[in-house]
Structure 1
């Protein structure tokens, strides 16, 4: 998800190599300055490209926001899909634990790139103010819920979809709160808290009513 990894993840979108460079730079701009700092000029500077390059590819600020939403969402979806494909085979003795471990590893990887997480959070709020971004940005979350639901099904618990939705909502908050910690403490906090959330919500008995 991070800008450093953006080109290598090759999101499945019709962006040119130049546009991907600009959008990777936009992730960094948002990570450093928030969406208030997202301007064509700031993206050009971050990308090390001549002034005016970004505005040629994305004429308006809304066009830039829309492309950034699609870029981030597709990158996240690609990584989530890869994690889902790589989940360990179900094991009756181990239950959901190996799959939970794989999910924690993915989240730990995201944490190494705080600019990407900040951009994720900023876009999540922006789509409330700008509903046209919703279609571009939301699909990654649905994919994440799908994968978590697969994990819960392995534990043979009731209402796996509801549990998955609760886990993903909780994990989004954990990821953002982890950034508040000193860099050397973030990973330990994330792992301990996400494991607690996933194990708890995957195991607690839900009222079927």
Structure 2
């Protein structure tokens, strides 16, 4: 049985369908390949990272090895000398940086009590400024009314209770602060700094 050839329109539709199917298959293969490579890299990352670092180091140190080899030094000995020199340089850098970090940290821990005293002194001086005292006294002289809601079985009674002004007529330590700006409170608020400094100093 002879099958008639497709018309030009049918051939164009068939070609578009096959092209779309091929593109979809290619995209699926690429996505699957990328996903599979990601899974492999994730699984082998503990092994690949050291290999990558070793490869970078070998690439960077290869010119020096070639130079030593030109000086009639066997390649194994040249590689050994280069890696030993690199390790010594890294150890020298760490040996010069780490003591400075430890020293600076110890000095910071020893100076924490002085820093806390300076902070406390600055806070006290800021509180004693006339503008701050005027602002605090104005807030103490005009307290906000306190509304209390009392519910009974017969009716809802709203009672407005105004807070009475302070008995001392407004001093440097207003009542609404609850005496939180006195010297003892400031010392207790910053008293943990010397203890933290001693603990930090004891870690080194």
**Shorter-chain TM-score: what band?**
under 0.3
In the superposition, the TM-score normalised over structure 1's length comes to: 0.23
In the superposition, the TM-score normalised over structure 2's length comes to: 0.23
Larger-Rg structure: 2
More strand by share: 2
